[in-house]
Amino acid sequence: MRKLLKGVIDKDEILAQIEEQLSPIPTQEAINNFKEEFFAERDQEIKSCVYIDEDLHNKLRIVAKYICNGKVTMGAYLNNIIEAHFEKHKHEIQYLHNQSHSDFQRELWRY
């Protein structure tokens, strides 16, 4: 990485920042896949309470109300987000779990 002189503007760095902020318009297929994955209503027999940041709560409420036209509950949308997270990061979560379990066993049997 190049060192920048104080007060000198790096054109490439600025262009990279602008590109990062601009997002491409998604294809209709990408939009449909997103809707299928995240805006599906789910049957929830047993529910539990979870506390989240108020800003996130408001964003979830707005998506459920306006984008989903009230057809999907906030809870169903949040369940879908979390389920996708677990699926996407399943290997990392399993690795970390195994690692912590291994550390626990070593610590337990050390004494």
Assigned domain for 24 exists: no
Assigned domain for 12 exists: no
Assigned domain for 96 exists: yes
CA distance 33 to 40: 11
**Ordered DSSP codes for 21-63:** H--PPPPHHHHHHHHHHHS-----SS-------HHHHHHHHHI
Number of domains in the chain: 1
Assigned domain for 20 exists: no
Assigned domain for 68 exists: yes
Q: Which domain holds residue 111?
A: 34-39+49-111
CA distance 59 to 3: 39
**Contact between residue 81 and residue 34 where contact means Cβ atoms under 8 Å apart:** no
CA distance 25 to 71: 24
Assigned domain for 23 exists: no
Assigned domain for 66 exists: yes
Give the per-residue pLDDT at 73.
87
pLDDT tens-digit map of 53-109: 999 999 998 988 888 888 888 888 998 999 999 999 988 888 888 877 777 666 766
